[in-house]
Chains A and B, each alone.
Chain A
Amino acid sequence: MAKTLRDKLIPYTFVLPALLLLALFSLIPIFIALIISFTGLDITGLGDWSQIKFIGLQNYTQLFHDSAFLQSILNTGYYVIIGVPLVILLSLTVAILINFGQNRFFRFMRLVFYTPSITNTVAVAVVWTYMYNPSMGLLNNLFGKIGLGPFPWLSDPATAKMSLIILAVWKAIGLNMLIFLAALQGIPESLYEAAELDGAGWWQQTRHITLPSLSFSIFFVTVTTLIGWFQFFDEPFVMTKGGPLNSTNSVALFVYQNGFQNSNFGYAAAGSFVMFTAIIIATLVQFKLQKKQQGI
């Protein structure tokens, strides 16, 4: 049966609306961003396109002489290096603990740990800002009762980054715990039974059965968490605006501030491309490491 032209076009009517929107708001913008990162586009260029000047690599060279940008790279590196391992370690621990039992209590705890993940970042950031308040916040009150503190939390450059990390880790545990839990429940019971007969203790079983069986989910969580932390934005935006003294500013927030507060669109686009490159490199490294691990 020969297909008519009409039949040939039908599949496209299903996929085209979504594809056009993705092209317009995801793919084409990449190229526009790349082009404007070589221009001095600002608020005047926005109104009158003839005012836009190509300035070559000037944005990029300027970025690497901009102490605020360099600081934001260091801060983002700090977030990634501390935050990503913490998220993986803690969500894996919670998943293993919850996997101990199947009854109502353990199912309820799964709900409890997942809740922070679905709630609005702005709302929880507002709540944590209140809890971090040095004089009337909950945390210093509680620590004061056991004779610790008061801690400056968000108001001191030395502790502010860590305070943001604590909040973000708290929020990230739930989703990753679910991913680990799904993988844990897929490990055949017979493996553990055999190990038990061989006299392997709990820790040996965890090291030689549980962790190797989880290698794909650990890889998945590492990559998605890494990408997420490279784009760390909501928490510093709501809680510290990048301060005090730029100590919590992230690259993503730097891009936002330059683009939408100072209207330096070209400069901000260049900053966003530096971030994009870093994400791609980090992801590729992860894929390489994963391949190497599987090869052994």
Chain B
Amino acid sequence: MINGNKTAVRNGKVAVGAILLFWGFITILPFLWMFLSSFKTNAEISQATQNFLPNHWTLDNYKRLFIDSNFGVYLKNTLIITLFSFMGMLLNAMAGYGFAKFKFKGRGPLFILVLATMMIPGQVTMIPVYLILNEMHLTNTLAGIILPGLVGAFAIFLFRQFMSNISNSIIEAARLDGASEWYIFWHIIIPISKPVLAVQGILTFIGGWNAFLWPLIIANDQKYYTLSVGLQLLQGQHTSDYGLQMAGSSFMVIPIVIIFVIFQKYILQGFNVQAEK
């Protein structure tokens, strides 16, 4: 009886594994197809039926990204934006610490206000924010692309959650030793907060790398385009040049997948939303 049960469990596991394998293959198929197609010649890619693997491997599509198209410029802009979004992450961490460890007038209402901004859809704010940036003469500048997304309520919330759990006695001890509040933040709080900084750092990188809506609205000039806006332009200009499009997509997707695989253990643990009991 017990033996029979074990075999049934094992058979069940194999069946589940087979379903997952098939479904997983379908899930990953678009990426495989994208990556392999990016090495195909134009002649091959315009045939009605194609082999999965390229007949003649070529790097031509990738070369054209940088020669015919401005992917070098887009890459530079994307990296600048990503760099600045890390500064935004520090502002989020500061705010999270302020809400977690200080008592001050208006703390409760201000924090609720922060959380309330999470509910506001981007489409409602995009027109007024454009008008505000226009008044500040920041449209069509990198600063205009960076500023609206610099801080985020969800990140502030996560920093506050983590920092609330840091023991007060460490902070009090440092204060008695005469450390300034900023010294405490930089030399005690930031080092303790490494786990949350790791998760936020990866999410910040992914967010900056994938940024689309603000660069699309604020940048009129190709020299301020990011990779995703540039890729969207490339699709419009080279409608049927699928080799080039797949190279551009691979160029955006592959680095993120690599970073994700390296740091996955930090990201995957950050998704427990169960209500606190």
Contacts and interface: CB of A to CB of B under 8 A. Distances in A.
Interface stretch (B59-67, B144-152, B164-172, B191-199): B144-152
A127 B46 contact: no
A171 B246 CA distance: 18
Contact of B20 (A21, A109, A129, A231): A109
A36 B124 CA distance: 11
Contacts of A203: none
A114 B110 contact: no
A130 B127 contact: no
Nearest to A32: B128
A143 to B, nearest CB: 12
Given A8-B104, A275-B124, A279-B121, A46 B134 contact: yes
A81 interface: no
Interface string B21-65: 101100111110110010000000111111000000000000000
Contacts of B232: 122, 126, 238
A230 B119 CA distance: 12
Interface in B69-110: 91-92, 94-95, 97-99, 102-104, 107, 110
Given A123-B231, A127-B34, A265 B127 contact: yes
B222 interface: no
Contacts of B102: 10-11, 14
A57 interface: no
User: What size tier do the contact residues of chain A reach?
Assistant: 35 or more
A98 B20 contact: yes
A120 B268 contact: no
B125 A33 contact: yes
Contacts of B229: 122
A55 B187 CA distance: 56
Contacts of B268: 110, 114, 178
A194 interface: no
Contacts of B227: 120
A122 B231 contact: yes
A105 to B, nearest CB: 6
Contact of A128 (B30, B114, B121): B30
Contacts of A136: 45-48, 50, 242
Given A123-B249, A126-B245, A127-B30, A22 B117 contact: yes
Nearest to B114: A22
A210 to B, nearest CB: 14
A217 interface: yes
For the residues of B in contact with A, the DSSP-based class is: helix
B24 A231 contact: no
Contacts of A260: 130, 217
Nearest to A145: B49
Contacts of A138: 29, 33
Given A119-B256, A179-B273, A126 B125 contact: no
A183 to B, nearest CB: 6
A17 B97 CA distance: 13
B126 A238 contact: no
B3 interface: no
Interface in A1-59: 8, 10-12, 14-15, 17-19, 21-22, 24-30, 32-33, 36, 46
A174 B131 CA distance: 36
B257 interface: yes
A182 B114 contact: no
A141 interface: yes
B19 interface: yes
A18 B73 CA distance: 30
Contact of B98 (A14, A130, A252): A14
Interface stretch (A60-68, A153-161, A266-274): A266-274
Nearest to B16: A100
A162 interface: no
Interface string A77-121: 000000000000000001001101100011001111111101111
A287 interface: no
Given A15-B110, A32-B132, A136-B45, A259 B17 contact: no
12 contacts: A14-B102, A15-B94, A25-B129, A112-B28, A119-B252, A127-B34, A130-B37, A131-B30, A216-B273, A217-B273, A227-B121, A276-B121
Q: Which 7 A-B pairs have the closest CB atoms?
A: A14-B98, A11-B102, A29-B128, A18-B95, A32-B128, A15-B98, A11-B104
Given A32-B131, A182-B271, 19 more contacts: A11-B103, A29-B124, A30-B128, A105-B17, A113-B27, A118-B257, A120-B252, A120-B256, A122-B252, A123-B228, A123-B253, A183-B273, A231-B123, A251-B123, A255-B126, A256-B123, A272-B123, A273-B124, A275-B123
